[in-house]
């Protein structure tokens, strides 16, 4: 086994990555050997060219794994390497898993049955409710809900799992000492109590956009399946879905309105073969997990049942179907004035329950 100090040091050096780190581990087992190796020794390692060799020689003067391990301990974080029993079993199965993970919270959840829920950072109320409810349902089965702590769908997935008492895991695209986005500080504290926060990046690493593909790869890598709730056509969530497919994992997609740009990504996944998800049982059945018999969206009920509406809004909503209905007809059937109907229509639109169509028509989402 390689020394912890060696693995931590290699993980702190830029541009190495899992492949080169494994190559170096074939040559060095101790930090001392690595620090005393010559340029020629490094150049004999597959994948190490002159440019990377220069990076290693320069970086090893600066990195201090002993200080890094001390900082992690002060933060209450555990450093897990791919040689440890606590390393996620599913993650070790993927091609070139990250050699080092930093974790806060209950590390054991990383080896529970896990499902990822991801989606857009700008969800509709429909997407928010779906993500939160599905996560809550999964957590009730003690299934670890995995996401990326990002704004939008990720945050609602974590909230749903926390509502059920966890477990949930947040995978970061930055150092374990950084909360990103900052407004999720309280959620992160709750996740540490009910689950785990994990990252492959050294302490102090900023949340750069270039970090998030590696973060997404871990999200799908520790999960049996990935559920995409809402995603635009070029969403980062689709990258997570692609990683899941590469890793031989299941991909699920929640359908949405054809009028919503945040449904284009999920509908694209469905066209490509992702399993369409209407409720949690669809996920459980596909993965041969225990079914839930009282899921609230079964037996004809729909998503509108979990979105708060007034009696007045319900009266109008019940007259709107999944095909276009004219506002003039709503005025006639309710006896309300056009101004009153337009005000109610506006509120229902803001709740993403209906869509206004050209020509004075509306349609239920």
- Residue 89 confidence (pLDDT): 96
Instruction: Indicate whether 301 pLDDT > 70.
Output: no
What CATH class has 1-63? mainly alpha
At 165-186, the pLDDT tens digits run 989 999 999 999 999 999 999 9
Helical pair 185-194 and 153-163, crossing angle rounded to 10 deg? 40
Are the C-beta atoms of residues 180 and 207 closer than 8 Å to each other? yes
At 74 the three-state DSSP class reads: helix
Q: Could you tell me the pLDDT band of residue 197, with boundaries at 50, 70 and 90?
A: very high
Cis peptide before 167 (omega within 30 of 0): yes
| Topology (CATH) of 103-286 | Rossmann fold (3.40.50)
- Residue 199 confidence (pLDDT): 98
Whether the model clears a pTM of 0.85, i.e. scores above it, the answer is: no
Beta-bridge mates of residue 275: 252
Structure tokens at 125: 């109320």
Instruction: State the Cα–Cα distance between residues 194 and 358, nearest whole angstrom.
Output: 48
At 71 the three-state DSSP class reads: helix
Average pLDDT value over all residues in the chain: 91
- Residue 294 confidence (pLDDT): 44
**Scanning the structure block, which residue is given the tokens 């449904």?**
263
At 253 the three-state DSSP class reads: strand
Dihedral over alpha carbons 312, 315, 316, 319 (to 10 degrees): 180
- Per this entry, what is the length of the chain? 365
Instruction: Indicate whether 10 pLDDT > 80.
Output: yes
Range 308-364: architecture per CATH? Orthogonal Bundle (1.10)
- Residue 360 confidence (pLDDT): 82
DSSP line for 134-149: HHHHHHHTTPEEEE--
Instruction: Indicate whether 323 pLDDT > 80.
Output: no
Q: Could you tell me the pLDDT band of residue 296, with boundaries at 50, 70 and 90?
A: very low
Instruction: Indicate whether 35 pLDDT > 60.
Output: yes
At 348-365, the pLDDT tens digits run 988 878 877 777 888 886
Q: Which residue has the higher pLDDT, 22 or 305?
A: 22
- The residue ranges of every structural domain in the chain are 1-63, 103-286, 308-364
- Residue 136 confidence (pLDDT): 96
């Amino acid at each position: 086994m390689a020394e912890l100090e060696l693995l931590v040091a290699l993980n702190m050096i830029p541009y190495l990555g899992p492949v080169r780190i494994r190559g170096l581990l074939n040559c060095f087992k101790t930090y001392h050997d690595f620090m005393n190796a010559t340029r020629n020794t490094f150049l004999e390692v597959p994948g190490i060219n002159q440019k990377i060799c220069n990076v290693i020689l320069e970086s090893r003067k600066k990195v201090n794994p002993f200080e890094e391990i001390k900082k992690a301990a002060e933060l209450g974080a555990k450093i897990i390497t791919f040689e440890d029993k606590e390393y996620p079993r599913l993650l070790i199965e993927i091609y070139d898993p990250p050699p080092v993970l930093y974790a806060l919270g209950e590390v054991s959840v990383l080896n529970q049955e896990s499902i990822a829920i991801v989606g857009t950072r700008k969800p509709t109320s429909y997407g928010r409710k779906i993500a939160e409810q599905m996560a809550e349902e999964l957590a009730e089965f003690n299934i670890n809900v995995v996401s990326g702590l990002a704004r939008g769908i990720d945050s609602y997935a974590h909230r749903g799992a926390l509502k059920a008492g966890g477990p949930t895991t947040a995978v970061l695209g930055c150092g374990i000492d950084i909360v990103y986005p900052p407004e999720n500080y309280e959620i992160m504290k709750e996740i540490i109590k009910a689950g785990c926060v994990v990252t492959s990046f050294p302490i102090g690493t900023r949340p750069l956009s270039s970090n998030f593909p590696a973060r997404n790869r871990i999200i799908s890598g520790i999960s049996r399946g990935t559920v995409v709730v809402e995603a635009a056509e070029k969403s980062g969530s689709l990258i997570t879905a692609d990683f899941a497919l590469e890793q031989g994992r299941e991909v699920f997609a929640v359908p949405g309105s054809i009028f919503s740009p945040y449904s284009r990504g999920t509908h694209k996944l469905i066209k490509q073969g992702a399993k369409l998800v209407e409720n949690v049982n669809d996920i459980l059945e596909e993965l041969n997990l225990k079914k839930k018999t009282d899921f609230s969206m079964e037996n004809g009920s729909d998503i509108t049942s979990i979105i708060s509406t007034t009696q007045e809004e319900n009266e109008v909503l019940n007259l709107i179907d999944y095909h276009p209905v004219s506002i003039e007809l709503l005025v006639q059937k309710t006896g309300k004035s056009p101004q009153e109907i337009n005000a109610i229509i506006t509120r229902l639109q803001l709740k993403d329950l209906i869509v206004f169509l050209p020509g004075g028509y509306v349609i239920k989402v």
